[in-house]
Amino acid sequence: MAEEILREKLREEVEGLSHEEEDELLNLINRLIELSILREKRRCKELVLEFIESSGGKFRGHFR
Amino acid sequence: MSWNLSRVVVENLGGILGRRSFEFKSTVNYIKGASAAGKTSLVRAIVWGLTGAWGLKGDYQVKMGNEADLSTLLNRGSKQGSIEIAIDKKDKTLVIKREIIRRGATCKLGRCELKIISDKSEEIIQGFQQVNDKLKSELEIPYLDLAYHIIFNGEHDLLLTVLPEGATLRNYLATCFGISRYEKAWSYLGEVERDLRREYEDYRDKAEERKEASVLLEDRQRLIEKLNSERTEKMRELNDIKSQLDSMSSQLRKLDELHNQITSLEKRINDKLSRLREIMFKIQARDEDSRKERSVIEKLNKQLQDVNQHLERNRRDLNNLVDNISNLEIERNSIRKELDELIGRRDHVEEELRLLKELRERKDRLTQLESEIRNLKSELSGMQRRYHECELELKMKNKNLSKKQAALLAIENVFSWIADSPSACPVCKRAWDEELRVRSIERLNPERRRYESEVRKLKENVNTLEKELAALDNEIRDINNRISRLEWEREHQKQELSELERKMTHRAIEELNGELISLKQEIRVKTERLKEIESNLANLNAQKVELEEEIRRLERDKVGIESEIAHSHRNLERYISEISRLRLDQQAIEHEVSDLQQRLEVIRSGYDLEKHQTLMNNYQRLIKDETRLRTEVTRIEKDLETYSREVEEIRDQALEYKMFREKAAKYGDAVRLMEFVRGVIRGVAETLRDEIREIVSEDVLNFLHALGFNRIERVEIDERYRIKVQLDGIELNLDTLCEGIRNAIGIGMKLSSAKFQNFIPRLICLDGCLRLDPSKIRALIDLLMKMGVTNILITEREVTPRIRIASD
């Protein structure tokens, strides 16, 4: 159920995402949640920065 | 796949002391026993044995492993406790063993072991984590911490009625339903976001700091390019000027050489002429000096002549003066001799006169002494008489005094008798007649006073006489001394007088006085003459000294003038020789000057001054241009150097600007992404909370209806997580409900949570939380069994002292 709510929220926040992009973001959020529970701050930052680099700025337009 | 508890062995855990074994035979097992028999201890031990968890932290996280409240599990008086749980599965048996050991004030986990026994094999797993990991899969409990919440509903942490300290239903449900992980993630990612934002701002600030350098770099590079082209142009102009200057400089060198020769010759001629003028001036000066020196010599010769004349005259005067002085000295000596003789005669007469006077005085003194001696002797005889009289009177007074003192002593003796012997007479030993005694005393008292007075007076008279006698004695002794002294002086005067009479010439005083007057007159005349001669001599000697001094001075002057004349002669000779030498030099220089003037004329004929000037001016102008261009090139090169240095300095900063700008962009994107992620997570948590309130309300209502609480119409958890129940049309708070309904609501909420998580545990423990009638208990058991629960443990209080397991 939480997963469904998460996907629903994602769709509400960002419009025009492809299915793959949606999965990418969901994966990122879930991994961030797991790392937060483990209190891995450095890994959280690395994950976000890697995501920014690997996405090549394709999400930039969605978050502005 | 279902599983069942088959056997539990507990040793020293909770209220169970010693080792006890319990057999479980069916799905539903009642743990029965008296109060404090150990029912709850058994249930807790089973929960701990299955999950390894006991107790809740402040944030509702389960305490696992060594963090668990082991000290509340272990029996207080025991050092070691353990549990062994045997679980039957379809084809195998699991045996879980956990141990607690007390070490001092704390309790630690001991051995932890899982034995999996099948028909074919036996597997033993050791270690807390390994055992728990294996149990999760074997017992189908994916979350042991969650299982803890669900399978145990103990009396002391009864949900809704007794929550852990500080707990709220909101947070408890959030933990059970897994909302906490989203909320925690949201909060923790906030820290990550702040870190990212800080780094973004840091990079942005660094980029901003270096932005100016980047702009400046572009500007400087543009300026350097412009200055380089300007320098090339200037260098070209400079080279043109240099070639022109080279061609001009050879011509100028030749003309300069001629000009230098002319200048040099002119300078030499001028030098020679000036030297010639100097020589002529010197000759004139020396001529003048010679004239002056001659006039000086003439003047000095005249002075010398005068001095010689003076000297001769003074010497003549001195000779005359010496003759006069010697004549006066002869006369003075003869007068002195005569004066000495006259003085001798006068002294002799004066001595005779003095002796006569002394003789008279001594005779007078002798007469006076005789008279004094006589007087003193008569005084002495008077004194001696008086002494004898006083001596006689003293003897008489002493005699009288002795008599009076004897009488007084006799009276005193009588008084002492009467006083010492008051009763009887000490002589006759007869008793006193008192009247007689008093009368005697009265009669004797005036007598005693009279004698005492007389004795005192006599003593005073005796003392006075004794003092007078002593004084007379002293005076007599003194007069005797004076008489003997005067007698001695009289004898002495007599001797002196006879001596003087022997010396006397027996001339008359008048005769001696007349001779003395005539001698004194003669002496006065001679003395005055001697004084006159002495005065004349002193004058003459003074004149002589003056003349001698004058002669010495004139001689010194003469020597000085002579040396000055010699010095002037030497100067004159030196001037004459110098003049002749200077005249020779003058002739030689005049000859040289005429030669040099001839050579100058020859060189001037081959030199054009106007052409030289023009060429010089042109050359100077080009030199100025060259200097100006060189200055400009230097300035440009300096600027270039400055700009290049600036470029070098800011190049790194400009590069850093790019790097930091890129990083700032990347971190800015990261911050925005994190904001987005956190926004999504926050939205999920909020949505879940709303959903769960609805779900739990609905599930709990259905659960209560299933148990038979049909009068309850609605259960609601409001936004502030207060539970409200509508019963027979009346809305009630949780506190107003009976304990049975409250417990049922708690169990319903936990089951709802389990359903939400897709996890229905196989074991449910209901420890002291069932205050329901048997039909409702039966309905609950049926419901749980329908949900897939295969083990239900229910504790019940009864009078049996020891706990026992009873099957349903």
**B392-406 pLDDT, tens digit each:** 999 999 999 999 989
Question: Which one-letter DSSP state was computed for residue A17?
Answer: -
Determine the Cα–Cα distance for residues B410 and B297; give it in Å rounded to an integer. 145
Percentages helix, strand, coil for chain A (3-state, rounded to 5) are: 80, 0, 20
Task: Give the residue on B whose Cα is nearest the Cα of A5.
Answer: B684
> Does position B254 have pLDDT exceeding 80, yes or no?
yes
Contact between B651 and B217 under an 8 Å Cβ cutoff? The reply is yes
Is A33 part of the contact surface with chain B (CB cutoff 8 Å)? yes
Structure confidence at residue B163 as a pLDDT band (50, 70, 90): low
> Does position B493 have pLDDT exceeding 60, yes or no?
yes
Q: What radius of gyration, in Å, describes the C-alpha atoms of chain A?
A: 12
List chain A residues with CB under 8 Å of B684. Answer: 2, 5-6, 9
> Do B680 and A9 lie within an 8 Å CB cutoff?
yes
Task: Give the residue on A whose Cα is nearest the Cα of B681.
Answer: A6
Ranges B33-47, B81-95, B793-807: which has the least confidence: B793-807
Nearest alpha-carbon partner for B666 in A62, A51, A10:
A51
pLDDT above 70 covers a percentage of chain B that reads 94
Contact between B111 and B97 under an 8 Å Cβ cutoff? The reply is yes
Each domain of chain B, given as residue ranges in start order, spans 4-166+741-746+756-807
> Do A63 and B756 lie within an 8 Å CB cutoff?
no
Each domain of chain A, given as residue ranges in start order, spans 22-55
Contact between B53 and B63 under an 8 Å Cβ cutoff? The reply is yes
- Interface with A, mutate which of B194, B680, B687 (most A CBs under 10 A): B680
Is A24 part of the contact surface with chain B (CB cutoff 8 Å)? no
What is the sign of the dihedral through the CA atoms of B20, B25, B29 and B34? negative
List chain A residues with CB under 8 Å of B681. Answer: 29, 33
> Do B195 and A28 lie within an 8 Å CB cutoff?
no
Task: Give the residue on B whose Cα is nearest the Cα of A52.
Answer: B670
Question: CB contacts < 8 Å between A and B, how many?
Answer: 82
**pLDDT, tens only, A5-47:** 888 888 888 877 788 888 889 999 999 999 998 889 999 999 9
Nearest alpha-carbon partner for B154 in B6, B64, B54, B61:
B54
Determine the Cα–Cα distance for residues A33 and B155; give it in Å rounded to an integer. 35
Residue A63: the pLDDT is 64
For helices B39-51 and B144-151, the axis angle rounded to 10 degrees is 160
CA distance B669 to chain A (A): 7
> Do A33 and B683 lie within an 8 Å CB cutoff?
no
Nearest alpha-carbon partner for B748 in B711, B775, B726, B717:
B717
Report which secondary-structure segment, H or E, holds B547.
Answer: helix B509-604
**pLDDT, tens only, B641-679:** 988 888 888 888 888 888 999 999 999 999 999 999 999
Q: How far is CA B610 from CA B259, B607, B613, B614, B617, in A?
A: 12, 9, 5, 6, 11
Contact between B117 and B95 under an 8 Å Cβ cutoff? The reply is yes
Residue B167: the pLDDT is 61
Greater confidence, B152 or B69? Answer: B69
The Cβ of residue B102 has, within 10 Å, a number of other Cβ atoms equal to 20
**pLDDT, tens only, B694-752:** 888 999 999 999 988 888 999 998 888 888 899 888 988 877 888 788 888 888 888 88
Reading the block at residue B575, the tokens are 């001037």
CATH, domain range B4-166+741-746+756-807 = 3.40.50.300
List chain B residues with CB under 8 Å of A53. Answer: 666
Overall residue count recorded for chain B in this entry: 808
The Cβ of residue B201 has, within 10 Å, a number of other Cβ atoms equal to 14
Contact between B211 and B657 under an 8 Å Cβ cutoff? The reply is yes
End-to-end CA distance of chain A: 29
Nearest alpha-carbon partner for B749 in B793, B788, B704:
B704
Report which secondary-structure segment, H or E, holds B106.
Answer: strand B106-118
Nearest to A45 among B182, B196, B672 (CB): B196
Is B674 part of the contact surface with chain A (CB cutoff 8 Å)? yes
Residue B96: the pLDDT is 95
Q: What is the ipTM metric for this complex?
A: 0.95
List chain A residues with CB under 8 Å of B696. Answer: none
The Cβ of residue B547 has, within 10 Å, a number of other Cβ atoms equal to 19
Structure confidence at residue B156 as a pLDDT band (50, 70, 90): very low
Greater confidence, B255 or B419? Answer: B255
Reading the block at residue B278, the tokens are 């100097």
Strand-pair partners of B116: B94, B123
Question: Which one-letter DSSP state was computed for residue B711?
Answer: T
CA distance A59 to chain B (A): 9
Structure confidence at residue B376 as a pLDDT band (50, 70, 90): very high
Question: Which one-letter DSSP state was computed for residue B772?
Answer: -
pLDDT above 90 covers a percentage of chain B that reads 39
Determine the Cα–Cα distance for residues B670 and B667; give it in Å rounded to an integer. 5
How confident is the model over B353-362, as a mean pLDDT?
86
Structure confidence at residue B567 as a pLDDT band (50, 70, 90): very high
**Spacing of C-alpha A12 from chain mean position:** 14
Reading the block at residue B176, the tokens are 């059970």
Report which secondary-structure segment, H or E, holds B53.
Answer: strand B53-56
Contact between B69 and B94 under an 8 Å Cβ cutoff? The reply is no
Residue with token string 């999996």: B116
Determine the Cα–Cα distance for residues B518 and B514; give it in Å rounded to an integer. 6
For helices A2-13 and B609-707, the axis angle rounded to 10 degrees is 140
Nearest to B192 among A6, A45, A62 (CB): A45
- Interface with B, mutate which of A13, A14, A33 (most B CBs under 10 A): A33
Residue with token string 């070490």: B103
Please, how many CA atoms are within 13 Å of residue B788, restricted to the half-sphere of its CB? 13
Helix (H, G, I), strand (E, B) or coil at B19: strand
Contact between B464 and B333 under an 8 Å Cβ cutoff? The reply is no
Nearest to B684 among A5, A32, A45 (CB): A5
The Cβ of residue B322 has, within 10 Å, a number of other Cβ atoms equal to 12
Report which secondary-structure segment, H or E, holds B102.
Answer: strand B92-103
Reading the block at residue B749, the tokens are 């909420």
> Do A45 and B677 lie within an 8 Å CB cutoff?
no
Reading the block at residue B665, the tokens are 């962009």
Q: What radius of gyration, in Å, describes the C-alpha atoms of chain B?
A: 85
Give phi and psi for B60, each to the nearest 5. 70, 10
CA distance B680 to chain A (A): 6
Task: Give the residue on A whose Cα is nearest the Cα of B196.
Answer: A45
CA distance B156 to chain A (A): 29
- Kind of pairing between the strands at B62-64 and B53-56: antiparallel
How confident is the model over B378-405, as a mean pLDDT?
91
> Does position B428 have pLDDT exceeding 80, yes or no?
no
Structure confidence at residue B795 as a pLDDT band (50, 70, 90): confident
